[in-house]
Structure 1
C-alpha cells in the first residue's frame, strides 16, 4: 500500500514533512520525501492523500472496554457473553474513532484481544490489565455491605465473578491476585491505592493497601518483566505508590505541586485524564460530589506536570455509560486546553506508546514500534482531512475528519 501526496506528522516533529509512505504487510516499509515508485511485480493499493495529513494512529492509556461498553445493569444482570460482545463492539467503535491501541485498565479482555489479534474482528491493539486488584472496602470492592468479604469467608462480588475486579488482602493474597492476572495474559497490573468516585465505601482521602502489600504487587509484576499502575488521586496514596516502585500513577487529580514534581524526580509516569463535569454521572450526591472534587484538580495538575517535565500519558476512563463512549474523541481534542497542539498530538501517539512499552517482555506488540510514522513501525495510520497541528478540534469528529484509517497494514475505513 502506498500513500502519496501526504503531509506527514511523524509522532514527534513540530512540523509536517511532505512525502510518500510505503506499507508492506503489517509494517511501514519506507518514508520518503521523494515519490516512491511502485514495484511492477506486486499489486499495490495507491492512496492519493490530496495533501491531507498522515499521522500515527492514536492510543488511549486508560480505557475499560467492557466497562465502557456496558451499563451498570448490563454488568450486574447480563451474561458474560453479553458483556464481552458489547466490549468487542466498542473495540471496533474505538478503532473507527482513530484509536489503534488502547491500554485496558480493568476488565476481562483476553478473549476480545485474541479475536482482534487474529484478524477476525476490527479493533485496536489491546494492552490488558485483566482484573484490577483492590483491598476489601477499596475502590474495586463492589460487594454489598450485607455480604461478608472474601477475606472473611464470603462469596465473590459480581465484579469479581465477571473478571472486572479482584479483591485481595494481605501480601500473600496480593501476590496470588497479581499472578492470576499475569496467568490470564495481563501486560501490566492495575492496583487500587486510593478512593474513587465510582465506588461506594471509600472517600477520596482514603489510602489503600499497606506498604508490604504494594511491594508484593510490584515484586510479582517485576518478576514477569512488567510494572504496576495504580488508581489514586490523593497525595499520601501517590507517595506510597512511588515509594513501593509503582511506575504509573493513574489519575492524580488531587495531588499537590510537590508530589507532581516527585514524579518527575523518580521517573514515574502520570497517566492523566482531562476530566470535566459531565464526563461521568452518578445517581447519588456522595459520588457526584467526589466527581466534582476530582474535576477541580484537572487544570492544576496539568500545569504542574508541564512545569516539572513529568512524563504524562493521556486517557479517558469512561465507564458504565455506553451512550457517552464517543466522548473519547472530544476528550482527545480537549488536551488542547492544557497543551500546545503538537504536545497533545505527541501524547496521543508516541508519548502513550512509550508508556505502553514499559510492559517489556509482556508487551504483546513488541516486534515493532507504534505511535510513529517511521520505517519498520507498525502500519497504524490516520489520514486527516485538515491539519491537527493547527486545529486539534478535528479529532473530536472522527466520522467527518478521519478520511482513512489503517491498522496493522489493513484499511478499516476509506471515505476518499
Structure 2
C-alpha cells in the first residue's frame, strides 16, 4: 500500500482496504482471470461430456446435411399432411433452412435443389408422443427412485436417439428431470426428438407424485426433500402458496407446460385410483401461474370427479381420463379441452406391475379404455396420442405399435392424425413458452421440416409402425437427415 493511501486512511479520508480487493483495477483483473478459467472449464468440460456421450453411443448421427445455400427436394412420393384424412399426390416437398418452404407441383421444384427420391413411398410428418417420460421410460422403478441421477440421464440420452429412430421427432415430456437432456438434444450433443418439458410433476402429499415410503412419514418442515424432489422427478406441494411456488420453479427452469397430479394413479401404491387430488383452489393457483407465463396446465387424472374439478379450475389437457363418464366427456368437449389418451389395454405392452393393488387398478383402467375412445370420438373431443411407457426397460420399442393399436377404434389416417396434426395443435398451446416456435405435426408451408418416409400404406393400416428398423426409410428432423435407407 502506498504512503499516500496510508496517510489518507489515517486522516479518515479513505476507507481501510488493506488487500485492495475492491479496487477497480483489482476487480478488472479478477474478471479477466475468471473469464479465462470459465472458458477453459467450458472447453474442457464440453470435450469431456461429448467424449463421454460418444463412448456411450450418444453422439449426433446426422447422415446428410443440406448443402449450404441449396434447398432439399423430396420427390416421387405420396404424403399425409397431418390434417386431411387422405393421402395426397402430385406434389413435391421443398425444404430450406429447416422448414418446409413450399409444396410445388411434381417436377416444378428448383433445379439447384438436393433431390431425395422417395421411390413412390408414403411420407408423413414426424410422429409426436404427447405423454412421454424421457428420463423415466427405460429404467426400472427401483432405479428411477434410487440410482445415481447421472446414470438415469445417460440411459435417457441413449433412449432419446432410439426414440428418434422410431420416427418420433417430438415428445411432450409429462414429468421428470428432462431439462438437461432437452438442452443436449437442441445443441446437437446427442440425437433425439424435440422435447416439450414439464419438469417435475407437481403432486399433493399422498398424491400420485408422492413416491416416499411410509417409513419416512411424518414429514416435518425442517426435513430435507426426498430423492425424487431433489432430482426433479416430482415436487410435493400442499396449499395454494406452495403450489404457486413449485409451479413457478418449473417455469423458471424452462417448462413449456405444467403437469399436476389431479387424481390417483396405477403405478403408485398409496393413492387409490378413485381419489380426487388437489383442491380446486390449488389447481387454480397452478393454472393462474402458468397463464401468467402464457402457457397451460395438464393434469394426470382418471375419474370423473377429478376431471370435472380440473376443468373448472382451467386445466386445458386431461392426461389419461379412461374412467370418465358420459357427462364428463361432454364437459371436456364443451370446454374445448384436449384429451391426451393412451391405449391402456392391459396387454403385452403394459407397464409391469407385480403388486396386486397395481394390477387391480390397471385392470379397471383397461376396462374403461375402449368406451373412452368410442365416446370421446362421438362427442368430438380434441384427442391426441400418447403412450406413457414408464419405468419399463425395453418397452419403448412398442411406441409405434401402440399408435397402430388405435386402428381398433378409428380408421388408420384418423389414428395417425392423433399423433401428428392433432398433437401439434396441443403442443401449440404452450404459446410463448413453445421452445421451437413453429408448426409441428404437419406437412405444410412454413412448418418445421420433420418428415418420415415409410414402406407401408397409412390408408390401409398402421402395422408398419411396429418395425421402424425395416419400414422407416428416412428420418428428417428440422431439415437434417438422421436416417436414410432409400
Q: Write the mapping of 1:77-226 to structure 2, written as runs, cut at 5 A.
A: 77-148=146-217, 150=219, 152-226=221-295
**For the residues of structure 1 that align with 2:392 and 2:323, how far apart are their CA atoms?**
24
Cα deviation, 1:282-319, whole Å, max 9, x if unaligned, reads 12101111111111110001111011000011100011
SS in 1 for 2:329: helix
Cα deviation, 1:5-51, whole Å, max 9, x if unaligned, reads 011111122222222111112111211223134444xxx43211111
TM-score, with length taken from structure 2: 0.83
Cα deviation, 1:228-284, whole Å, max 9, x if unaligned, reads 100000111001000100001100011111100110011111110011113111121
Is 2:115 the partner of 1:68? no
Is 2:124 the partner of 1:52? no
**For the residues of structure 2 that align with 1:313 and 1:17, how far apart are their CA atoms?**
23
Runs of 5+ unmatched residues, structure 1:
none
Compute the displacement of 1:75 (Å): 1.5
1:30 aligned partner? 102
**For the residues of structure 2 that align with 1:37 and 1:310, how far apart are their CA atoms?**
39
**For the residues of structure 2 that align with 1:135 and 1:76, how far apart are their CA atoms?**
18
SS in 1 for 2:432: helix
1:398 aligned partner? 468
**For the residues of structure 2 that align with 1:17 and 1:388, how far apart are their CA atoms?**
12
Q: Write the mapping of 1:231-380 to structure 2, written as runs, cut at 5 A.
A: 231-278=300-347, 279-366=350-437, 368-380=438-450
**For the residues of structure 2 that align with 1:233 and 1:265, how far apart are their CA atoms?**
18
Report which stretch shifted further, 386-395 or 89-98: 386-395
State the number of aligned residues: 412
TM-score, with length taken from structure 1: 0.97
Instruction: Decide whether the 8 Å contact of 2:161 with 2:191 is kept in 1.
Output: yes
Instruction: Decide whether the 8 Å contact of 1:188 with 1:227 is kept in 2.
Output: yes
**For the residues of structure 1 that align with 2:221 and 2:328, how far apart are their CA atoms?**
36
**For the residues of structure 2 that align with 1:167 and 1:358, how far apart are their CA atoms?**
25
Is 2:76 the partner of 1:5? yes
Instruction: Decide whether the 8 Å contact of 1:107 with 1:130 is kept in 2.
Output: yes
**For the residues of structure 2 that align with 1:48 and 1:380, how far apart are their CA atoms?**
17
SS in 1 for 2:120: coil
Compute the displacement of 1:153 (Å): 3.8
**For the residues of structure 2 that align with 1:150 and 1:27, how far apart are their CA atoms?**
51
**For the residues of structure 2 that align with 1:284 and 1:71, how far apart are their CA atoms?**
15
Instruction: Decide whether the 8 Å contact of 2:94 with 2:109 is kept in 1.
Output: no
SS in 2 for 1:181: helix
2:23 aligned partner? none
Runs of 5+ unmatched residues, structure 2:
1-71
SS in 1 for 2:208: coil
Please list every run of at least 4 consecutive aligned residues from structure 1 whose deviation after the TM superposition is greater than 4 angstroms: 149-152
Compute the displacement of 1:409 (Å): 0.4
Compute the displacement of 1:149 (Å): 5.1
Q: CA RMSD in A?
A: 1.2
**For the residues of structure 2 that align with 1:215 and 1:325, how far apart are their CA atoms?**
34
